[in-house]
């Protein structure tokens, strides 16, 4: 009789925490996806064409005058290729599944596949051309529609998945903090590299980041991968 009240209290607190977390994730996910839709509309209306191009011109001058940074970004940007980000996300999903963390597995798969799927549809609808440079100013060549950036979308979705579902599994606080910093730097590198290399406008990468992050947060609010983690940690 003396044990029941604390158990009920703890379960009630957990249920409240779950509702609060779900509400926060859905709110932030909806806000970010709303920003993405707004940017898609603004881009289709070409309302940001002049400032986007002006910033791209400045970044192009920076790239041409800092070849060592450009050479580094040419290599680093490969880590954000769709085949890499999608592949790592699906490998994480398989790993979670084998560890019997089914919610985390579905969360990882839905996040990366869904983010790329939405990005593909948006590319077809917005159909924005990539920055165009003459031979002297071309740093890297790429094809396909520019909005949103697939590198930014995939890296943001993957990083969000790992921060939500994988990082909490690390036992050390220092390790968790280090992992979050590494993942944040990974995304930041993708966001910076694409405009500097001249294959995306700044709004392309920002839109990809809010899309990938927003979609992953919505998936987390629906699939709740932290519940599995809590059950695994329970005595």
Higher pLDDT, 38 or 227: 38
State how far Cα 64 lies from the chain centre: 28
Angle at CA 205, nearest 5°, toward 210 and 141? 155
Residue 144 above 50 pLDDT? yes
Find the helix or strand (DSSP H, E) in which 124 lies.
Answer: helix 102-126
Task: Report the predicted TM-score, pTM, of the whole model to 2 decimal places.
Answer: 0.87
**How many separate domains does the chain show?**
1
220 within some domain:
yes
14 within some domain:
no
Structure confidence at residue 235 (pLDDT): 46
Average pLDDT of the segment spanning 146-152: 93
52 within some domain:
yes
Residue 186 above 80 pLDDT? yes
pLDDT confidence tier of residue 173, bands split at 50, 70 and 90: very high
Structure confidence at residue 10 (pLDDT): 53
Distance between CA atoms of residues 3 and 233, nearest Å? 20
How many CB atoms lie under 10 A from the CB of residue 14?
12
Question: Is residue 109 within 8 Å of residue 92, measured between CB atoms?
Answer: no
Q: Tens digit of pLDDT for each residue in 217-230? A: 999 999 999 876 54
Average pLDDT of the segment spanning 114-139: 87
Distance between CA atoms of residues 17 and 205, nearest Å? 33
Distance between CA atoms of residues 157 and 143, nearest Å? 22
Average pLDDT of the segment spanning 66-70: 87
DSSP state of 165: I
> For residue 127, what is the domain's CATH number?
1.20.144
DSSP state of 48: T
> Which domain covers residue 189, as residue numbers?
19-233
Average pLDDT of the segment spanning 60-85: 89
- Per the structure block, which two tokens stand in for 136? 């002297």
29 within some domain:
yes
Higher pLDDT, 60 or 219: 219
Question: Is residue 184 within 8 Å of residue 166, measured between CB atoms?
Answer: no
When the pLDDT of each residue in the chain is averaged and rounded to a whole number, the result is 87
145 within some domain:
yes
């Amino acid at each position: 009789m003396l044990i029941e009240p604390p158990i009920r209290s703890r379960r009630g607190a957990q249920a409240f925490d779950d509702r609060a977390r779900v509400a926060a994730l859905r709110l932030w996910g909806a806000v970010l996806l709303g920003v993405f839709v707004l940017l898609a509309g603004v881009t289709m209306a070409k309302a940001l064409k002049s400032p986007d191009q002006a910033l791209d011109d400045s970044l192009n001058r920076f790239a041409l005058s800092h070849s060592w940074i450009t050479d580094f970004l040419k290599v680093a940007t490969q880590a954000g290729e769709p085949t890499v980000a999608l592949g790592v996300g699906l490998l994480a999903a398989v790993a979670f599944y084998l560890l019997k963390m089914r919610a985390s597995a579905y969360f990882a798969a839905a996040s990366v596949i869904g983010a790329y799927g939405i990005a593909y549809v948006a590319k077809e609808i917005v159909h924005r051309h990539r920055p165009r440079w003459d031979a002297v100013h071309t740093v890297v060549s790429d094809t396909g529609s520019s909005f949103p950036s697939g590198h930014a979308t995939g890296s943001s979705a993957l990083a969000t998945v790992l921060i939500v579902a994988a990082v909490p599994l690390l036992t050390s606080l220092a390790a968790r903090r280090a992992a979050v910093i590494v993942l944040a730097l990974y995304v930041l590198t993708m966001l910076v590299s694409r405009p500097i290399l001249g294959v995306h406008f700044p709004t392309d990468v920002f839109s990809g980041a809010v899309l990938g992050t927003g979609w992953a947060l919505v998936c987390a609010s629906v699939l709740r991968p932290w519940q599995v983690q809590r059950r695994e940690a329970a005595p």
